[in-house]
Amino acid sequence: MSLFDAIAGAIANPDQQGSTDQLGSILGAVQAIAGSQTGDSGNSNALMSAVGSVVQGALQNQQGNIGTEGVENLINQFAGGNASTEAVQALFGGQEQQVVEAIAQRTGIDASQISGLLPTLLPLVLQLLQSGSSNGGGNSVLNTFLDGDHDGDVDLGDLMSQAGRFLGQ
């Protein structure tokens, strides 16, 4: 199952937190942030691909340390809301500079801009991952994002593009 399929399933399932309004809000915020900070809203897909890659690796590491329930708690703590340097620190644990440099290298966006963007983008990414949370426990979107079958088929840039088409944007 692709990440977009998992999110679409969360939107369709009344027991999960996902909604088209939430997806549209996240998509719009990412495009606005990318546009205002980098001067080109077209950077949003490349930026989200790079951010998604480092977030995926960090959450997989966290899962190995604190388990899936611990990762769900981390996501619930920092999802949505305002920019959060605490979320960046909690997720990347002292490796923020390496993360910033990896994203900058992959996107061509200046590292100082990435440093400013990451505390704003990370809560949005976590909010997107939170959309699969269900009342009965578990999170289908998070499980897909963590890519339990290790096929590597997870890309937030592609997801943003698919979400835009889904929402008619």
CA distance 121 to 118: 5
- If pLDDT is split at 50, 70 and 90, which confidence band does 74 have? very high
Q: Which two tokens stand for residue 71?
A: 């990762």
Task: Provide the mean pLDDT of the chain.
Answer: 86
Give the three-class secondary structure for 134: strand
* 12 pLDDT above the threshold of 80: yes
Total-model pTM? 0.85
Which of 40-49, 103-112, 156-165 comes out lowest in average pLDDT? 156-165
- If pLDDT is split at 50, 70 and 90, which confidence band does 37 have? confident
* 43 pLDDT above the threshold of 90: no
CA distance 20 to 166: 9
- How do the domains of the chain map onto residue ranges? 3-166
